[in-house]
Structure 1
Amino acid sequence: MEIIKIKYTRLLTLLLFSCNLAFAQIPRREMKQANIEFENYAYSDALEIYLEVANTGFRSIELFEKTGDCYYFRGELDYAYQWYNKLFSLGKKIDPEYYYRYAQTLKFVGKIDQADEKMQEFANMSNDDIRTQMFLENKDYRKEIDKNSDKYTIEKMKINTKFSDYGTAFFGKDKIVFASSRDTLDGKKKRKKVDRWTNESFTGLYMTSIKEDDSLKDVVEKFSLNLDTRYHESTPVFTKDGNTVYFTRNNYNEGKVQKDDHNGILLKIYKATFNGTEWTDVTELPFNSNDYSCAHPALSADERTLYFASNMPGTFGMSDIYRVSVNSNGTFGMAENLGPGINTEGRETFPFVSEFDDLYFASEGHPGLGGLDIFMSKREPDGNYVRAFNIGRPINSERDDFALIFDAASSGGFFTTNRGGNDDVYSYKEVEIIDPDCREKLEGLLTKEFTGEVLANTKIQVLNEDGEVVMEGVSDENGNYSFEVMCKQVFTIQPVIEKKKVVIDPNKSTDLAKVFNIEYIYFDLGKYNVKPEAEKDLNKLVAYLQQNPSAHLDVRTHTDSRASKKYNQVLSDKRANSIIAYIVNHGIDPSRVSGRGYGETQLLSKCPDGVICSEEQHRLNRRCEFIISGM
């Protein structure tokens, strides 16, 4: 009996071992197939297999990494977070890149401190990574984002569907063209293929009109049946004359699709011309390749440079922003990577260049809120882009935000976000112009607080609004000081500032705006209520009138030309009345203060309707004058 018992036990152990071995082999076969789909960017198909494997109870670093990645690359960061969380719960050695991706998803679910902790761990493991350098140099990136936030209003457009709608481009003065997966048929009525990345139809190009309020009309039509294929068409950019378009399409030429060595269909940039009735001569650009993708073209203001995203050799990360020269003979220069000020080891994509040659792009590598955020970089005098800043909320969010385009005339434009679940087109309007490089003079006379004694050759500290010393200097031999500070920031001088005595010549027309260096009285866009930022300057006028009881003041307000003449006239009148009311409410006799608005009738810079001007030229026109009309 004992012998039989031993044999039975050994047989049971052998059977159990055989079953476990077979069970372990099944995930390996399925994982191999899922990995093939993953390498071909078929994230929907790969995800289905990974989830089936996970449901068997199988656990591994690779399974959790790849499942999280499928959701991550589809922009579903909430689900990616769940799988990266399982990955880190294994307690095993994990590739540094997943510390970065996990941090991105932690931001999405609101665990900001944990996200920063994971970024610090990532930095410790990846000293040479550009993202590490950016994180370590700007650990207070959230404070910077907060400063850049709330400078836009946004609105979801009614053109959106339950499918993917994204990547707008201006076409002429009153139309936009965008990509959508809403239609399952191409222009030749052939069924469009399904993109295995998203499990939706491949996208085509659609067009709609821009309304007078800068929103979009609900009526949408296909842009060009001649450009439409069974594969992706997206992200166009048009020359100003409307006769040339550059756009993104899958590697599909003359009815034949080409694949790379991994059986994947990559992206290329194509060019087409308009012959007066239809788009013709569709050709791919010479810097494309069957071995890497090029996508999302954008033109410089002078149309002599084409910007795009690519993962070609030399790319820092998953995709970088490049540019090539567009020669007058129709040829193109060599592709140039924009460098580490713009590109990182993450994704940089969807470039757009404004009329001022400001570069906008989407990135997950620069410090942001999570997912893709939109960044802006100003062109340096040498033509390069070396520093980018996050444009903040509400355009950016914890989800993917990308494909922003900007129109200077309307101080707004459109962008794409998947914050609602699918890619949708939103409009935005600037509330306040963002200029991170703006500097202004902070100057005055340094005196003792009570005696008024001039303090010559005296050390001075400049404090920010938090009371922190940000600069130091010394007054000159006459007690004067001058600092260059960031625009629209609140600073305090220690020990004290006393303004120079104002001397008025009664025989000349004196503008107190110039005397007191009042460059601009701040109003919200389209409004006339005096903002708190303006009170400091208006208080200078009140103080002067109190010290000079015989002086009379004439308030004159002006606007730029970016609205109708009637609207600007009414607006400037209301703003003049608001300023007068503020001065009177602070104790000045109403008989001593008069004024009116002049609208756009006295433009200093030549920027009438229909002329494109810089924001600085428009700001010059949006001025206030405070004329001494009598003594």
Structure 2
Amino acid sequence: MKRIITIHILLIFSITISAQKKYKRADDLFSKMWYIQAAKEYETVIDEGDNSIEVLQKAGDAYYFNTDMENAFKWYDKLISEYPNEVNPEYIFRYAHSLEGLGEYKLAKKWMKKFANKTKTNDPRAAKYAQEEVTIEDILDIEPQFVLRNLSINTEYSDFGPMYYRDSLVYASAIDSSYYHERKYRWNEQPFLNLYLGKMNTLENDVIKSENFSETINTKYHEATVSFSVDNNKVYFTRNNFDGDLGRDEEGINHLKLYSAILEEDRKGNQIWTDIKELPFNGEDYSVGHPAVSPDGKQLYFVSDMPGSIGATDVFVVDILDNDEYSKPRNLGNQINTYGREMFPYITEERLYFASDGHLGLGGLDVFESNYVVNNYFETPVNLGSPLNSKLDDFGFIIREDKNTGFVCSNRKQGKGDDDIYSFERIPVEKCVQNVYGYVSNNKTGERITNVKVALFSSGGEQIQETITDVNGDYNFVTPIDCDEKYKVIAQKQGYSANDKEFKTARQTGKTEVPLGLDTVSELIVEENGLLKIKIGIIYFDLDKSFIRNDAAIELNKIVLLMTQYPNMVIKIESHTDSRSPDDYNLALSDRRAKSTREYIISQGIESSRIESAIGYGETQLINNCGNENPCSEADHQLNRRSEFIITKM
């Protein structure tokens, strides 16, 4: 993307220019962004013996900003070799990118990790470039989805920034027309950019003829990257800060601005673009450019380094209001924007496409897509892989998703000259999906837990589906989810502490098992046959008696304490006997004991409403075969003499 830099590199400086007398001319050229001349001057300074860190940095930068990665690598390599401890981490980042530009991905990965280690606490790019999740190899392995074709209208100069307009294509070009023959931009010794209208040959997926887009919009300086209102009667375009002459800030930099124009008929019936005006959120000290109108015409996305930017250039959005008014710009946030460059947004009803060198890619700017969720929230961007992306700059992606056709720009070496526009056909690949299943068990006993609510969430916190575990503690989500993505499941059930688990799906279509373990909120709480119960020591009563003994009170106080800790807890009390006395006698005795137990708990400060019932069941619910006719040991009979405290509400 060497030459599109003429319309956006104004935005990307993070290293302060510090001129020194002995190479003042080189610095002056560099500060004006005349990089071809500046590079030659810096090399002359180096040949004369100045190998200072500042000169080596700028020599590399002069080539890096002009996307000459071979020469950028040459000077960055010397910089890092001679100043391994002093070098700014940003130059490790650029060094890694220059290696990618040469196709040295294995070595680039090593230096990306070094960059991540040096900046892990203060640079959001570090997590991506550490490559603990997605690696360069993963991106290289992406199944090819695009077939590209170099357009007929490309020239030896810079051609880029396509946008649909009715049945045509508007784009920017530095084509060396006779009118602008003498005006060259010193950045790269090319003519200034203007907007052109190309006729599309849809049968061949090509653009075969072009003409000047607008005599009223094109000036003697840069115009590029446009977007249109839904009715095509309003255009937004990028231009130098120009009002008869170039406006510059205190450092002499001419920034970019967004402008709009309206399509009207003149007296002769010709349609012309008129009423050209600046958008109100432009600034004199920062750049604004690369517009993209949303499909419903209600929002305008753009790129800027305005205050509030995260990195070198960020994607912002404003609401398009009535009467040529706009809302305050909103940064799309760090899901999209990084400390690097995010540029050339294009928005459809379902996705945002943009170019970035801050997200992990194959070199230079890569094209990414991010699914739109709601309220300008976007999912994690996905690299679109090769051959759409290359080891150099790939950007300016637009698409008609219903036809799977579109255009993209690149300065890859197979082109006709500089930046070229390519048409593409996107070949749909079978969507890779995963289904999530698993089970929930008790962490302490290993017993499977039924009726657990299990919910599946995206990495952004959006709930995808909710289900309940079956009688075996198993669950299964029927909604398929994406491969190679992060998700989270959360399991909840009354009486248990909620638990969640993050996981990443496999890279192939299939199933992902996610087991979960739960702990009850107290060691006294257990689940038996689907019922939550409070388990304490045996409550002993004297023979034929129902009053609460001291040893029984000690155990019942554990229930009092637990119910105090959980003020919403409601229980019911069940008392049982063995079978060694008459049935009616056992029923009456157990009922007295249940109610005596209830009264004791109430006497210790627990509200009566929190004890749902207190009932004796005598020998009607034996838990073994020790009935009236069956001889049993004392230990077996003891199992039936029990008090149970069942939790009905927490």
TM-score > 0.5 by shorter chain: yes
Q: Is the counterpart of residue 166 in structure 1 residue 160 in structure 2?
A: yes
For residue 583 of structure 1, what is the aligned residue in structure 2? none
Matches within 5 A, 1:42-191: 42-92=34-84, 93-126=86-119, 127-136=121-130, 138-146=132-140, 148-172=142-166, 174-185=167-178, 189=179
Partners of 2:436 and 2:511 within 8 A in 1: no
For residue 234 of structure 1, what is the aligned residue in structure 2? 224
| CA displacement 1:452-502 (0-9 Å, x = unmatched) | xxx999xxxxxxxxxxxxxxx9984489863455458332689xxxxxxxx
Q: Which structure has more helix as a fraction of its residues? A: 1
Q: 1:161 to 1:112 in 2, by over 3 A?
A: same
Matches of 1:52 and 1:166 in 2, distance apart?
33
- In the TM superposition, residue 203 of structure 1 has moved relative to its aligned partner by 0.5
Matches of 1:284 and 1:433 in 2, distance apart?
43
For residue 412 of structure 2, what is the aligned residue in structure 1? 419
Partners of 2:436 and 2:512 within 8 A in 1: no
| CA displacement 1:555-613 (0-9 Å, x = unmatched) | xxxxxxxxxxxxxxxxxxxxxxxxxxxxxxxxxxxxxxxxxxxxxxxxxxxxxxxxxxx
Give the alignment partner of residue 316 of structure 1, picking from 310, 315, 318: 310
Secondary structure of 1:409's aligned partner: coil
- In the TM superposition, residue 304 of structure 1 has moved relative to its aligned partner by 1.0
Q: Is the counterpart of residue 265 in structure 1 residue 254 in structure 2?
A: yes
Give the alignment partner of residue 392 of structure 2, picking from 396, 399, 403: 399
Q: 1:479 to 1:94 in 2, by over 3 A?
A: closer
Q: 1:237 to 1:485 in 2, by over 3 A?
A: same
Partners of 1:375 and 1:390 within 8 A in 2: yes
Corresponding letter in the other structure for 1:265 = N
| CA displacement 1:54-99 (0-9 Å, x = unmatched) | 3334312111111111111112222211111111121441011001
Matches of 2:192 and 2:180 in 1, distance apart?
12
Q: Is the counterpart of residue 367 in structure 1 residue 360 in structure 2?
A: yes
- In the TM superposition, residue 429 of structure 1 has moved relative to its aligned partner by 1.0
- The aligned length equals 439
- In the TM superposition, residue 247 of structure 1 has moved relative to its aligned partner by 0.5
Q: Could you tell me the TM-score, scaled by structure 2's length? A: 0.63
Q: 1:440 to 1:102 in 2, by over 3 A?
A: closer
Corresponding letter in the other structure for 2:386 = R
Matches within 5 A, 1:583-598: none
> Which structure has the larger Rg?
2
Q: 1:143 to 1:491 in 2, by over 3 A?
A: farther
| CA displacement 1:163-208 (0-9 Å, x = unmatched) | 0111100001x210110001345xxx46563222222111001111
Q: 1:409 to 1:492 in 2, by over 3 A?
A: closer
| CA displacement 1:402-435 (0-9 Å, x = unmatched) | 0100112321200100002610000111111687
For residue 498 of structure 2, what is the aligned residue in structure 1? none
- In the TM superposition, residue 297 of structure 1 has moved relative to its aligned partner by 0.5
- In the TM superposition, residue 221 of structure 1 has moved relative to its aligned partner by 1.1
Secondary structure of 1:324's aligned partner: strand
For residue 570 of structure 2, what is the aligned residue in structure 1? none
| CA displacement 1:360-392 (0-9 Å, x = unmatched) | 111000001111001111112233225211111
For residue 488 of structure 2, what is the aligned residue in structure 1? none
The answer for unaligned runs of 5 or more in structure 1 is: 1-26, 445-454, 458-472, 495-631
| CA displacement 1:501-551 (0-9 Å, x = unmatched) | xxxxxxxxxxxxxxxxxxxxxxxxxxxxxxxxxxxxxxxxxxxxxxxxxxx
Q: 1:138 to 1:236 in 2, by over 3 A?
A: farther
Q: 1:99 to 1:338 in 2, by over 3 A?
A: same
- In the TM superposition, residue 209 of structure 1 has moved relative to its aligned partner by 1.5
Matches of 1:477 and 1:251 in 2, distance apart?
70
For residue 425 of structure 2, what is the aligned residue in structure 1? 429
Q: 1:287 to 1:138 in 2, by over 3 A?
A: farther
Partners of 1:208 and 1:219 within 8 A in 2: yes
Q: 1:149 to 1:78 in 2, by over 3 A?
A: farther
The answer for unaligned runs of 5 or more in structure 2 is: 1-18, 266-270, 439-447, 451-466, 484-507, 514-650
Q: What is the identity percentage for the equivalent residue pairs of Structure 1 and Structure 2?
A: 36
Matches of 2:177 and 2:335 in 1, distance apart?
41
Partners of 1:148 and 1:434 within 8 A in 2: no
Partners of 2:434 and 2:510 within 8 A in 1: no
| CA displacement 1:233-269 (0-9 Å, x = unmatched) | 000111232211100100111x222111111211111
Secondary structure of 1:378's aligned partner: strand
- In the TM superposition, residue 117 of structure 1 has moved relative to its aligned partner by 1.9
Matches within 5 A, 1:9-28: 28=20
Matches of 1:380 and 1:456 in 2, distance apart?
34
For residue 196 of structure 1, what is the aligned residue in structure 2? 186
Matches of 2:147 and 2:208 in 1, distance apart?
20
Partners of 2:434 and 2:511 within 8 A in 1: no
Q: 1:71 to 1:199 in 2, by over 3 A?
A: same
Q: 1:385 to 1:475 in 2, by over 3 A?
A: closer
Corresponding letter in the other structure for 2:56 = F
Matches of 2:512 and 2:347 in 1, distance apart?
39
Q: Could you tell me the TM-score, scaled by structure 1's length? A: 0.65
Matches within 5 A, 1:491-530: 491=510
Secondary structure of 1:75's aligned partner: coil
- In the TM superposition, residue 49 of structure 1 has moved relative to its aligned partner by 1.4
Corresponding letter in the other structure for 1:411 = N
For residue 380 of structure 1, what is the aligned residue in structure 2? 373
Matches of 1:308 and 1:32 in 2, distance apart?
35
For residue 533 of structure 2, what is the aligned residue in structure 1? none
For residue 349 of structure 1, what is the aligned residue in structure 2? 343
For residue 280 of structure 1, what is the aligned residue in structure 2? 274
Matches of 2:168 and 2:26 in 1, distance apart?
43
Corresponding letter in the other structure for 2:191 = S
Corresponding letter in the other structure for 1:274 = L
Matches of 2:347 and 2:122 in 1, distance apart?
30
Secondary structure of 1:340's aligned partner: coil
Q: Is the counterpart of residue 333 in structure 1 residue 327 in structure 2?
A: yes
Matches of 1:479 and 1:95 in 2, distance apart?
55
| CA displacement 1:16-53 (0-9 Å, x = unmatched) | xxxxxxxxxxx953522222322232222322311222
Q: 1:492 to 1:385 in 2, by over 3 A?
A: closer
Partners of 1:208 and 1:216 within 8 A in 2: no
Matches of 1:256 and 1:492 in 2, distance apart?
63
Q: 1:94 to 1:239 in 2, by over 3 A?
A: same
For residue 532 of structure 1, what is the aligned residue in structure 2? none
Q: Which structure has more strand as a fraction of its residues? A: 2
